[in-house]
Amino acid sequence: MPTSSTPYLTADHYSQGSGAWERLSHAKATGAEYDSNERRSFSQCLPGTRQELLTKLGKAMNEEAGQVIWLFGESGSGKSSVAHTIARQLSTQNQLAATFFFSRRRTHADRSDANLVFPTLAYQIGLLHLRARSAVVKAITDDPELLSNLKSRTDQFEHLVKAPLRSLQHVWAIPRKVIIDAVDEVVTGDRGSLESLVCSLNELVRDLDIPISHILVTSRPFPSLVTLSRTLATNGRLTVLNMQQFSPNYDIELFLKHSFDNIYDIHELSFLHERPWPSSTILTSLSTRIKGRFIVAATIVRLIENAESPSDCLDLISRMYEGTMDPIDLDLGNIDSIYSYVLSSGDEQNQRSGVEYLSDIMTLARPLTLDGICTLSGVDVSKHIVHLSAIVSLPPMYYSTTVQVYHSSLRDYLWDSSRSGNICVSPPTSHGRLAVWCFQLMKRKLLKVKLLKDEVKPPLQYAMSFWCYHLQRSDPNRQIQALTLDFVRNRAVLFLETAIAMGKFPEAMSCLIQARFTMMVSFGFA
């Protein structure tokens, strides 16, 4: 029997209910549900793959209630596919309460806003049971500002999420789960909202009156998010899993085999090759070189699938990874089609920025690690170039391995407008950006106190060593001229003092002399 506090709608509420529910439908994020039409291109895990990880996750989500499970993984490692698979499994078992799949793509603007999570969860919860929907509608009807940006997120969480879930305490025989995917995709300026969001969600599994037993969160292993997960550990039960704990090589090989079998049938390759195609040697070699990134495997499959000759395309890709490309492939421009396809992939927002960052990486005077490049540029470069992983060796963030292109022919292609067309980036343009990055990093790091040798991290070492190298090879513009003048006037002394601590005084002095001459030429005094 319902109690007097059961949130059923009164006659007045019923008359306003449809309007309140419609307002909520417009206030929520579009396409954030795991099975939304907007996410059709994101598939679940191929049957037979990720078995160890899925088993571990399934076990964690069926163990003691009141847990947050945080799955970390690098870009392109398949986190979203895993989250989608778990969501689908839970949905078929009537154990899924709601999902929110973040995305920072330009066409998915709503899905990068942490402030839209509570309305989106409320809408999904309301669809599961009339009692929850009644509670949501009543809350919006009683407080018309509840969905506005002026309302505190605490009030939204209490009335749109917690209260409706409490109304289902005796309805759901088995507590349900919530899945939040790719929280690292929250817009950069929204980190405070993200922390508040995660801490609020943690309350759901700690409140005994709320029938939510587990929350699955996925993200890249950014230090800020790792720290945030540790904060949760002090406030409740937390299980942390990392994709790297589970070797993906077998899974990727299985995915490639399944995909190549389909290509073999669709393109009727039986006239050219007997099964198995390709050979197990090529299959194993590819899966090893892909280094656990499903996004690379998927790109290779699409490339071969769309090629006029899938067999020749596969052979060319294999030789590219092995570094044994036949000169005739370069002379005939066969590799150009691969580069063009990959560089033109990805969403429109990241296409041009990805190409420019790739050119900058290839223009570096010496290779840097991924986090070193991000520190030098002041930008999370990884999200702009992860879709290029098929032609660039992109190690995980904070690994000591440097970012490298698989074959030097990529430089020739990208820097030659007769081959790359409107994709082309001129080397002076990249040198100019790198010079700007060097000046800006030194402006941030070379402060009033002289740095000791051990305090000069690799990105700053790079900036101090090569700013002049890039300056001399750039096409000076007003920004570069202004930064150079600012550096010479305000940071030259600290630059020299730090260079002395590093044992690099002669090189530093030479840089300043060369920079002076370069600027005289730039301003027309030489």
Greatest CA separation for the chain: 92
Q: What angle do CA 168, 38, 81 make, to 5 degrees?
A: 75
User: For position 200, what pLDDT does the model report?
Assistant: 92
Domain borders along the chain are 11-245, 249-324, 348-425, 443-522
State the Cα–Cα distance between residues 30 and 25, nearest whole angstrom.
Answer: 9
Q: What is the DSSP string of 307-364?
A: SSSHHHHHHHHHHHHHT---HHHHHTTHHHHHHHHHHT-S-HHHHHHHHHHHHHHHH-
Q: What residue type is 223 in one-letter code?
A: P
User: For position 3, what pLDDT does the model report?
Assistant: 41
User: For position 39, what pLDDT does the model report?
Assistant: 64
Average pLDDT over residues 397-401: 87
Sign, CA dihedral 254-257-259-262, equals: negative
Q: Where are the extended beta strands (E) located within 53-145? A: 67-72, 96-101
Interval 327-380: pLDDT, tens? 655 554 557 878 888 888 767 767 889 999 999 999 999 999 999 999 999 999
Q: State the DSSP H helix or E strand holding residue 404, giving kind and residue range, or none if neither.
A: strand 404-405
Which range among 163-167, 182-186, 474-478, 520-524 shows the weakest confidence by mean pLDDT? 520-524
Interval 185-198: pLDDT, tens? 887 555 677 888 88
Q: What residue type is 79 in one-letter code?
A: K
Which range among 230-239, 479-488, 500-509 shows the weakest confidence by mean pLDDT? 230-239
Which residue in the block uniquely carries the two structure tokens 């950014």? 222
Residues counted in the chain: 526
User: For position 6, what pLDDT does the model report?
Assistant: 43
| Three-class DSSP category at 98 | strand
User: For position 16, what pLDDT does the model report?
Assistant: 53
Interval 74-124: pLDDT, tens? 887 889 999 999 999 999 999 999 999 998 775 567 888 888 999 999 999
Q: pTM for the full model?
A: 0.73
Using the predicted structure, report yes or no on whether residue 526 has a pLDDT greater than 60.
no
pLDDT band, very low/low/confident/very high, at 5 (cuts 50, 70, 90): very low
Average pLDDT over residues 217-227: 90
Q: State the DSSP H helix or E strand holding residue 472, giving kind and residue range, or none if neither.
A: helix 458-472
User: For position 345, what pLDDT does the model report?
Assistant: 76
Interval 234-280: pLDDT, tens? 666 889 999 988 888 888 899 999 999 999 999 999 888 999 999 99
Q: What backbone torsions phi and psi does residue 215 show, to the nearest 5 degrees? A: -130, 125
Choices 3.40.50.300, 3.20.20.70, 3.40.718.10, 3.40.50.20: CATH for 11-245: 3.40.50.300
Name the average pLDDT for the chain: 86
Please list the helix, strand and coil fractions of the chain in percent, rounded to the nearest 5, in that order: 65, 5, 30
User: For position 298, what pLDDT does the model report?
Assistant: 84
State the Cα–Cα distance between residues 339 and 336, nearest whole angstrom.
Answer: 5
Interval 416-444: pLDDT, tens? 999 899 999 999 999 999 999 999 999 99
pLDDT band, very low/low/confident/very high, at 447 (cuts 50, 70, 90): confident
pLDDT band, very low/low/confident/very high, at 4 (cuts 50, 70, 90): very low
Using the predicted structure, report yes or no on whether residue 14 has a pLDDT greater than 50.
no
State the Cα–Cα distance between residues 117 and 100, nearest whole angstrom.
Answer: 7
